[in-house]
Structure 1
Amino acid sequence: MAGGSTTSVRRTGVRVVVVGDQGTGKSSLIASVAGGSDTFPENVPPVLPPTRLPADLFPDCVPVTIIDTSSSPENKSKLAEELKRADAVVLTYACDQPARLGRLSDFWLRELHQLQVKVPVVVVGCKLDLRNEYEQMTLEQVMSPLMQQFREIETCMECSAVSQMQVPEVFYFAQKAVLHPTAPLFDQETQTLKPLCLKALKRIFILCDQDMDGALSDAELNNFQVKCFNAPLQPAEIVGVKRVVQEKLPEGVNQQGLTLIGFLFLHALFIEKGRIETTWNVLRKFGYDDDIKLRDDIFPVPTRRAPDQSVELTSEAVEFLRGIFHLFDNDNDGAIRQAELDDLFSTVPESPWDEASYKDAAERTALGDLSLNGFLAEWALMTLLEPAQSLANLIYIGYSGDPASALRVTRRRSVDRKKQQTERNVFHCLVFGPKEAGKSALLNSFIGRHFSENYTSTTGEHYATNVVHQLGGTTKTLILREIPEDRVKKFLSHKESLAACDVAVFAYDSSDEHSWKRASELLYEVARQGEESGFGVPCLCIALKADLEPYPMAEQDSARVCQDMGIEAPIPVSVKLRDLNCVFNRIVSAAEHPHLSIPETETGRNRKQYRRLVNHSLMFVSVGTAVVIAGLTAYRAYTARKNSSS
């Protein structure tokens, strides 16, 4: 693979601040590179004004602005200000004053740490022409311990402004350290590629391995070269590349071509040889930014949507995920083991389902494996909560279709209610209820977990998601979100809190009188919030722990309240006995008929009746007005005819 240069899409210039002790040659170094001649500049002022190098001086064609500084105590605040604005720092010392080398570590590098200046540092020995020719210490001997201690040092070099030796190279390496930094890609201590870099290069390799045989053939290697460097490889060059890899790493090449191990080895070799711009060029051609993550502009996530709209995966994206699932289900048992799931996400910067919202949110087998339904349900949950992240992860794992075709924005829920039907495939259900009602047990039963007598109060986010099979063979994805009792007030304090909800469930312990009373209060609060905000949602009550003795008058009281509010009577459920009474199908059915089961409070009914009365009165006023206008028109016509006949 040939080298090349490119720049970060965000860089329009590089600001290099030159620091060091007085008399180390800072200003002479800057004046020498700015002069552009082979003559050492005379009468250099103590501190130069900002100096801008032409954009075409270096291969990346990005202009460099050099800031000279004074090391005198009275200019300390000015120095600190400049350092905080730096993209890179050139730290100078005088080659003819080896006794003062300790100032680099004892003062300057520690000063950068105190100021929290986290940019690449190029350490430069100036006045090379004045160094004692009998000095035995080499640059590597002097600087190696320093680079081990201070990882921000990108490179060390020596130069002479008088003899024009390696002067432009100082600022070339400073610019290169900004545009093509080593730290994000390579661990200098272990001499290995860093995890994010490995993940990105693995994804690039998979994308280039068109025939999916685990190796880049000569043709695939050539296509990769053309894409990244706009120039094909000659046959002799391809042979040479593979020979280099095979000599150092025999398993890096096989009969099919360059393997993944060989591909990664090549990039590590480029970086070790100082050709880090080659790897950066590859990463940027495939859409990666300076943080080794795909650029945001690659993800066309719809940002303009109403509060009662949500985002779902399209059928095209779902089919891709089905294919990926079967590809990584190596033993074809219909489930993905954790190791297989880790492999699937090995090209993603961070495993997406380690966060609380997704961890343990889907159904798993007795062995802890993820079924296809669980896999698709997890993606549906991620798309609902974080559409941009979902789309990014789709692309990371190899989705090559048009990114805009992967997501769809659903129709507004308010429109669904008016049309009395919905086109959604994913339903979001909020589960309310008092403490110890059995909400968590209900969610756990939804994803196939065994009932446990041990009670643990829910404190954080708790989601459960699964595919629900409806009569007629249709399937919908249901997402349950538990709202702890002590968080209901805060949750409902937002006017649009119910906008993203398709159905609300109110769970209570049917053997506990207080539990039902609190559940009915929560039902009233949610109903009132829906009426006031205009985001009313279908509601269901679930009488949990139906295996226990119900409290007296339980069924009559709860049925009466539900009837008064215009919703279905409570559904008895025993999670312990696995007698679920088709509760999840009934939740989906309520969501599919968004105009039904919306509770009404007495205040809401009065308000609705008042509006009807006002509208009725307006109708009479309109009819009366129309009659008056018609009468006036007839009278005017009659008068006109009478006047004309006379």
Structure 2
Amino acid sequence: MDRKQVSLLFLGDHGVGKTTLIKSMIYESFQQNVPPILNPVIEDRNGIQTELIDTNVLNYSKTCHQLASINQCDTWAIILVCSQTYPKSIGNVLTKWLVMIQEQNLRIPIIVACNVMDNRDIIQSHYSDCCVFGPEFKECRQIEHFATLDFKDSKAVNALLETAQKIAIFPLCKLQDLNSKTKYSFHPDVINAFRRIFMIYDEDRDGYLNDTEFDLLHNDCFKNQPLQPLTIQKFRSFVEQIDPDAISEKGFTLAGFLIVWEIVLEYGSCECIWTLLRHFGYNDCFHFQQATGLPDFEKTKVYTLTPPGIEFLTDVYEYYVKNMNEKGNDTDSQLRRVSLIFSVISDSCFPWANFGYPYCTVMDENRQILPLRGFLALWFMIVFLEPAMARKYLSCLGYGYTRSKKVENSNYDLSCPITECNFSRNTFLALVFGSPSCGKSSFIRGFLEKPFVDSIPSKERVYWAVNSVKKSSCISQDNDRSSPSFSSDQSSTHLILHEVDLKVPEISNLPYLSRSNAFCVLYDNSSHESFSYAEKLIFALVSQVPSVPIVFIATKSDISPYITKNSIYMSKQLNISSPILISSKNGIYNSVFETICSESANAIYPSTVKRQHTTILLAFICSSLLWLGYQTYRSKLVKRHY
């Protein structure tokens, strides 16, 4: 719901004047005759579309359903109506209606309006609220406003409506931790949001927000209200009195930054806090929402990170991950710290949560530390597979807000860290096929630079893997080509492997098939059954997906290579490259990953690959016809002999 739209729900005992109050708000004058209940009405008041929702308290189940249907991420407020004519209705505000709201776990603002119609003594009293509401009402922090008014007074009714609109748009109770004993303490989600804002504007990455950075934050959020130097000095003195360790010559720490906004909250300026949070894309549930109006990503195109995007992610890694490793060796500290970065997004903690993180890329397993190469590889993978989700998470991290590290004279759109790939590709996807127990998992472990194990732990069993690979043209002839050649260069080629277990007829229904750049067909070099499975699989792939190249790989070549001659003969018949012999157990890969990248790069020119696969298909058909003719000829000879 937009900030120009507000919903107000009216609750209270029967006969206290809920419908009368709504009618007075609609017509801006007292209405003598009103129906028992009104249908929801939308009124445009003060430039705000306000929905007024009446309730029928005689239908208890329907009222509970109305409360349960409230979306707390939208702009809502509840007006509890009572009447001095019915004193019991005032007590029911706490004992009945407030309990009902709390049972629904609704953290939305509440306004209590007491109808004191025809009681001029209370209306004219300066302490009218104290006369009607006892101290127990003040203890409920979810109640943000008390009003005693005559529903016949149109000015008082209009003032109540304006107050309700403002409270709904800038609710105090949503900012507070209602379970905390401290009155002006922030909700944990608000603290996470402030942590993200602090990280974005700490541009020198020293862990402090200096005066320049604080002023930059204020100017971005409140453009028409420049921050005076005297104001910063006042904040400094306040923070120093509360917590001397939260302020230094370098500026405010994160704790000091939170204290500043607690002071703002205590002085009743929650409107400033909501302006700040919404400037950074937060809704009323403190979940990050991406800006609207951004261009959509086309499914037929491929995307990658721009150089400014790579620089930004490197900066984020240095700030959150590397610094954490230098402070301690807690094995969970790094993952917990990264989790806090994405805690403002409602769908999941990590953009790669469904891809087997953290075992889907290279990492130091002894210390459970993710290197920069692995961190960037994960981002290249998610940008390649799910660019829209990647853009959302990058915006969450603060890309587009910081300005000090932008690449000057760049041809890239600095507002978006993702760009379309044309013929210059640095990320490829290869699907890995093969018979059961042919060594696919060990092949992927070798790709992730992990040692060979006879039995892979279930938690480390992944179907997705990504790593950076040196380009084939960059490999020296003098290098040892038996082991994989990986690169730590940020701009190197990134290869994504996805292990697939399926039957041949299911090939056309594979996810990400349209984005695949190569097929890796593995077979056990010591098994006839595995070789036969691979042969059928290659024919199915060629016939169903003729535009994708095939890399033929023979695993377990250290055991018994007697299938090699048959595989080489079949490769010649199908006009494909001979199988690459690898041994995961001995760490021998014969530059297979570089070959996959080279074949994937050639797949950019679809006509070349299509001609190659057409030749393969024709060769396979010709060999099949020759074999069929030979068998027919033999059968005729046998018949003549007998």
**TM-score of the superposed pair, with normalisation by structure 1:** 0.75
Match of 2:495 among 447, 472, 478: 478
Match of 1:11 among 3, 22, 42: 3
Q: Secondary structure at the match of 1:590?
A: helix
What does residue 549 of structure 1 align with? 560
Q: What one-letter code is carried by the residue in structure 2 that aligns with 1:189?
A: N
Gaps of 5+ in 2: 407-412, 476-491, 623-642
What does residue 537 of structure 1 align with? 548
Q: Which range moves more in the overlay, 263-272 or 585-594?
A: 263-272
What does residue 524 of structure 1 align with? 539
What does residue 487 of structure 2 align with? none
Q: Secondary structure at the match of 1:427?
A: strand
Shift of 1:547: 1.9
Cα deviation 1:67-126 (Å, max 9, x = unaligned)? 4444445x9869967995894332323355454567557765676689x79673525251
Shift of 1:231: 0.9
Q: Does the CA-based 8 Å contact 2:434-2:523 persist in structure 1?
A: yes
Partners of 1:433 and 1:584 lie apart in 2 by 17
Q: Secondary structure at the match of 2:355?
A: coil
Match of 1:228 among 221, 227, 230: 221
Q: Which range moves more in the overlay, 321-330 or 387-396?
A: 321-330
Partners of 1:243 and 1:277 lie apart in 2 by 23
Q: Which range moves more in the overlay, 44-53 or 125-134?
A: 125-134
Partners of 1:539 and 1:513 lie apart in 2 by 20
After TM superposition, list the pairs within 5 Å mapping 1:46-85 onto structure 2: 46-47=35-36, 55-56=45-46, 61-73=47-59, 84=69
After TM superposition, list the pairs within 5 Å mapping 1:122-137 onto structure 2: 122-127=110-115
Q: What one-letter code is carried by the residue in structure 2 that aligns with 1:605?
A: L
Q: Secondary structure at the match of 2:304?
A: strand
Q: Does the CA-based 8 Å contact 1:311-1:384 persist in structure 2?
A: yes
Q: What one-letter code is carried by the residue in structure 2 that aligns with 1:505?
A: C
Partners of 2:70 and 2:280 lie apart in 1 by 30
Q: Does the CA-based 8 Å contact 1:358-1:463 persist in structure 2?
A: no
Cα deviation 1:115-162 (Å, max 9, x = unaligned)? x79673525251357689999995441574xx59xxxx5536242226
After TM superposition, list the pairs within 5 Å mapping 1:253-268 onto structure 2: 253-268=247-262
Partners of 1:228 and 1:167 lie apart in 2 by 33
Partners of 2:335 and 2:268 lie apart in 1 by 36
After TM superposition, list the pairs within 5 Å mapping 1:41-440 onto structure 2: 41=30, 43=32, 45-47=34-36, 55-56=45-46, 61-73=47-59, 84=69, 87-95=76-84, 97-100=86-89, 103-104=92-93, 108=97, 120=108, 122-127=110-115, 139-142=134-137, 144=139, 147=140, 153=142, 155=144, 157-161=146-150, 167=157, 170-182=160-172, 185-190=175-180, 192-229=185-222, 230-271=224-265, 274-297=268-291, 300=294, 302-306=296-300, 309-327=301-319, 328-330=321-323, 339-340=333-334, 342-343=336-337, 346-348=340-342, 349=344, 350-365=349-364, 366-399=366-399, 400=402, 401=406, 402-411=413-422, 422-440=423-441
Q: What one-letter code is carried by the residue in structure 1 that aligns with 2:618?
A: R
What does residue 484 of structure 2 align with? none
Match of 2:568 among 559, 572, 575: 559
Q: Does the CA-based 8 Å contact 1:184-1:292 persist in structure 2?
A: no
Q: Secondary structure at the match of 1:261?
A: helix
Q: Does the CA-based 8 Å contact 1:509-1:545 persist in structure 2?
A: yes
Partners of 2:572 and 2:188 lie apart in 1 by 59
Shift of 1:286: 2.8
Larger Rg: 1
Q: What one-letter code is carried by the residue in structure 1 that aligns with 2:447?
A: F
Q: Does the CA-based 8 Å contact 2:208-2:254 persist in structure 1?
A: yes
Cα deviation 1:20-43 (Å, max 9, x = unaligned)? 221223244345556768xxx473
Partners of 1:604 and 1:458 lie apart in 2 by 40
Q: What one-letter code is carried by the residue in structure 2 that aligns with 1:126?
A: C
What does residue 482 of structure 2 align with? none
Q: Secondary structure at the match of 2:544?
A: helix
Shift of 1:247: 2.3
Partners of 1:18 and 1:501 lie apart in 2 by 56
Shift of 1:371: 2.2
Q: Secondary structure at the match of 1:92?
A: strand
Q: Does the CA-based 8 Å contact 1:430-1:482 persist in structure 2?
A: yes
Q: What one-letter code is carried by the residue in structure 1 that aligns with 2:386?
A: E
Shift of 1:236: 3.4
Partners of 1:83 and 1:397 lie apart in 2 by 33
Q: Secondary structure at the match of 2:513?
A: coil
Q: How many residues align?
A: 565
Indicate whether 1:493 and 2:514 are aligned: no
Q: Which range moves more in the overlay, 433-442 or 362-371?
A: 362-371
Aligned CA distance change for structure 1 residues 203 and 120 (closer, same or farther; 3 Å): closer
Cα deviation 1:179-204 (Å, max 9, x = unaligned)? 23456543211354344422322232
Cα deviation 1:491-547 (Å, max 9, x = unaligned)? 5236x863211110011221222122112222222211113xxxx211012111112
Partners of 1:121 and 1:106 lie apart in 2 by 17
Q: Identity of aligned pairs, percent?
A: 25
Shift of 1:244: 2.6
What does residue 586 of structure 1 align with? 595
Q: Secondary structure at the match of 2:275?
A: helix
Partners of 1:500 and 1:110 lie apart in 2 by 54
Q: Secondary structure at the match of 1:215?
A: coil
What does residue 17 of structure 2 align with? 25
Q: What one-letter code is carried by the residue in structure 1 that aligns with 2:110?
A: V
Shift of 1:405: 4.7
Shift of 1:340: 4.8
Partners of 1:390 and 1:427 lie apart in 2 by 17
Partners of 1:499 and 1:18 lie apart in 2 by 53
Shift of 1:431: 0.2
Q: What one-letter code is carried by the residue in structure 1 that aligns with 2:193?
A: A
Gaps of 5+ in 1: 1-7, 412-421, 610-646
Q: Does the CA-based 8 Å contact 1:47-1:69 persist in structure 2?
A: no
Aligned CA distance change for structure 1 residues 227 and 48 (closer, same or farther; 3 Å): farther
Q: Secondary structure at the match of 1:193?
A: coil
What does residue 442 of structure 2 align with? 441
Q: What one-letter code is carried by the residue in structure 1 that aligns with 2:176?
A: F
Q: RMSD of the TM alignment (CA)?
A: 4.2
Partners of 2:68 and 2:336 lie apart in 1 by 42
Q: Which range moves more in the overlay, 157-166 or 243-252?
A: 157-166
Q: Does the CA-based 8 Å contact 1:435-1:485 persist in structure 2?
A: no
Q: Secondary structure at the match of 1:362?
A: coil
Aligned CA distance change for structure 1 residues 369 and 120 (closer, same or farther; 3 Å): closer
Q: Secondary structure at the match of 2:514?
A: coil
Shift of 1:62: 2.0
Partners of 1:458 and 1:434 lie apart in 2 by 22
Cα deviation 1:459-505 (Å, max 9, x = unaligned)? 9961111111134438311111111236x6445236x8632111100
What does residue 629 of structure 2 align with? none
Q: Secondary structure at the match of 1:187?
A: coil
Aligned CA distance change for structure 1 residues 460 and 155 (closer, same or farther; 3 Å): farther
Shift of 1:234: 3.3
Aligned CA distance change for structure 1 residues 36 and 224 (closer, same or farther; 3 Å): farther
**TM-score of the superposed pair, with normalisation by structure 2:** 0.75
Q: Secondary structure at the match of 1:499?
A: helix
Partners of 2:620 and 2:551 lie apart in 1 by 23
